Amino acid sequence: MKRNAGYIALSIAIASEVVGTTMLKMSEGFTQLFPSIGVIIGFVIAFYSLSISLRELPLSLAYAIWSGVGTVLTAFVGIIVWGDPFGILTFAGIVLIVGGVVLLNAPSVDKESAR
C-alpha cells in the first residue's frame, strides 16, 4: 500500500511540474505576475511531491518517470496550446523518451543473474 502512495505523490509531482512549466511559458520571462506566481507554486509542489514519492520509490525509478512523463506531457501541451511543430522527429523523440523510461524501469538482467 505504501508504494501506491509513492505513485500518487509522483503523479502529483508530474502534474504540478507540467503546470509550472506551462506557467513559465505564460509568464513571458517573469514579466506577467500571475503566471510567474504559478511557476513558483507549481515547482514547489512538484519538488515537494517528488521528495515524498522518494520515501517509497527508488530514486532511479521516480526520477526517470517524473522527468520522462513530464517532458512528454509538456511537449503535448506545447503542441496543443501553442501550436508547437509536431512532425516525425518530434514523434520519434517522444517515443525514445517513453522507451527510455520503460527500459530504465525494466527488471535488470544483471540483478537477476547476481542472485
**In terms of residue numbers, what domain contains 25?**
2-114
Amino acid symbol at 33 = L
**pLDDT value of residue 110:** 61
Total number of domains in the chain: 1
Q: Locate cell 506531457: which residue?
A: 73
Report pTM: 0.87
Q: How far is CA 59 from CA 4, 18, 62, 75, 101, in A?
A: 15, 20, 5, 24, 13
**pLDDT value of residue 1:** 59
Q: Are 93 and 79 contacting, i.e. CB atoms less than 8 angstroms apart?
A: no
Q: How far is CA 52 from CA 12, 62, 63, 102, 104, in A?
A: 10, 10, 12, 22, 21
Least confident of 24-28, 38-42, 108-112: 108-112
Mean pLDDT score across all residues of the chain: 92
- pLDDT category at 113 given cuts 50, 70, 90 is low
- pLDDT category at 104 given cuts 50, 70, 90 is confident
pLDDT tens-digit series, residues 79-101: 999 999 999 999 999 999 999 88
Segment 8-19 shows an average pLDDT of: 98
